[in-house]
Structure 1
């Protein structure tokens, strides 16, 4: 019988510890391999289904409709990733058009969870003032027909008058009456400016009760609105996109069709929680039905152009509630 000794005990313990360590390392390597394989499968599925393309596209559409003159770098790079818990993360820069050039003002961050809960999109602006949104005032109460006033900054015209003529700027305003988009473009036709966005009347107070509004003193400004921009469309797999950058008489019919088509696609193919909670597009069905039945009615605009050209709008009796946006050095054609 072999005698037991301290040396033998030490060797057995060392051998046991070595075997245990090797097994732990093997298990860890296997876990890492399984995790790597899982991540590869998830990424491959994510890329092949083009889900990121769809989410990015519709966040652009929602931004087009709800935030005047804010867009992506068309054709630019979008950073996409998916976490092990199947949360899709997407990031792309957002720009504002001032004059004829787009300037980067922030970054869109999208987080889309697997089950949709806690999905969100938010914009981080480079500077605090770049995120301001313009109020637009209804010219009359849709239910009663009572004439309403408009707010705005009375110093806008004085500031434009004092600014050097070699400057371009962004300007928003409301109109003293509801009008068709055709009428708005005809009103602004004599001026050398670009029309970028126009707030749409989509049945508020008639087809549905708006989420919120303010103003006081005979003014009503809706807190949640949609507007008509140039337009955007995508292929069935969202791998290709087309875009119109401003509102023009030449492409107006196309701009309207693109907006209605995107609304229809969202209503038919996505859950209500997707376009309301994720995209922030409330009362989409009611708005779509109203536009289809009654056509496109606007009550303001966001425009850009040379400051002296914008100053001429002061004498247009249909324009009120002007707000001055970003200004930049001359870049007009």
Structure 2
């Protein structure tokens, strides 16, 4: 059979093949999107079922309690959690400071659990320097007495602000105390105790970043505050206040969480994701030597904070956030 070739036939054939090719491409794209959607559905369901984000969120808060004075979450606030196609977990939650009797929103904690872990706090207000430096009362290696590097203007500023103001203040002490002794030391003042710098063997059992001068020495803060606990799946969580009636429990919970991290999590997880350095050395020191604190972060009316100026055991005061009166009169 003889078929005559012409441009019209060529055009029809090209259109037919173009349509066929287009449909193949569409089907491939649709199949790819469907399988990607199915893959992400399985990943998301597995992620939610396993509750891995709950564990990471819990331990990030534990680490924040220990290393960031008076930075905390508000129970009931909403956590954000997602997992990417490459199985990188991204989480975030708002963080607050207790100023007086009210929580003040100050930033967002952002976490990334993956090849390049991240644990940052993004503050709403830019910070140019540390608000809370604590100074050791004696040198860990020599036992020589040390002084605090006084930040100028702290007491003057408190004297000038209106007495209807509440504020956050940190200070160091000239000697070590147990947490119970520190709470008893501060009992005469109408203040809430939020956090205490805890000596865990820095520069004695292990090397840690430090700064100061011949007469003063400060190390990266690691502290004692209200303890946390959670159930086996980290879905039910609770935190206790830094109060005398909970001190023994808070000590027990801190040691329990340190032990859990050491036994169940890798060094990379503890150090690179949570930012907890020398956790094993700290844990062993606390077990052997007990809990010794050398300062505190407190909050309350400025007239009460000013009374601390007259206490000879207090040195190196730093003033943090201030707010309008929100205190309860007794």
TM-score bracket, shorter-length normalisation: over 0.9
Are the counterparts in 1 of residues 97 and 106 from structure 2 also a CA contact under 8 Å?
Answer: yes
RMSD: 1.2
- Runs of at least 5 residues in structure 2 that lack an aligned partner in the other structure: none
Q: 1:203 & 1:129 partners in 2: Cα distance? A: 29
Q: 1:204 & 1:25 partners in 2: Cα distance? A: 63
Normalised by the length of structure 1, the TM-score is 0.96
Deviations 1:64-122 (A, max 9, x none): 10000001121211011111111100111110110000010001111111xxx311111
Are the counterparts in 1 of residues 169 and 298 from structure 2 also a CA contact under 8 Å?
Answer: yes
Aligned to 1:58: 59
Q: 2:282 & 2:101 partners in 1: Cα distance? A: 32
The alignment status of 1:313 with 2:308, answered yes or no, reads yes
Aligned to 1:109: 110
Q: Give the drift of 1:130.
A: 8.6
Q: How does 1:86-165 map to 2 (within 5 A)?
A: 86-113=87-114, 117-129=115-127, 132-165=130-163
Aligned to 2:223: 227
Q: Give the drift of 1:131.
A: 7.4
Q: 2:88 & 2:150 partners in 1: Cα distance? A: 42
Are the counterparts in 2 of residues 125 and 131 from structure 1 also a CA contact under 8 Å?
Answer: no
Normalised by the length of structure 2, the TM-score is 0.97
Q: Give the drift of 1:280.
A: 1.0
| 1:128 alignment partner, SS class | coil
102-111 or 152-161: bigger deviation: 152-161
**Change in CA separation of 1:131 and 1:67 when aligned onto 2, cut-off 3 Å:** farther
- Return the match for 1:267 from 262, 268, 276: 262
Q: 1:330 & 1:169 partners in 2: Cα distance? A: 9
Q: How does 1:200-215 map to 2 (within 5 A)?
A: 200-210=198-208, 212-215=209-212
Q: 2:128 & 2:106 partners in 1: Cα distance? A: 6
| 2:207 alignment partner, SS class | coil
Q: 1:298 & 1:156 partners in 2: Cα distance? A: 22
Q: 1:10 & 1:43 partners in 2: Cα distance? A: 48
Aligned to 1:174: 172
| 1:71 alignment partner, SS class | coil
Q: 2:245 & 2:201 partners in 1: Cα distance? A: 27
Q: How does 1:232-311 map to 2 (within 5 A)?
A: 232-245=228-241, 247-311=242-306
Q: 1:187 & 1:241 partners in 2: Cα distance? A: 31
Corresponding pairs, count = 327
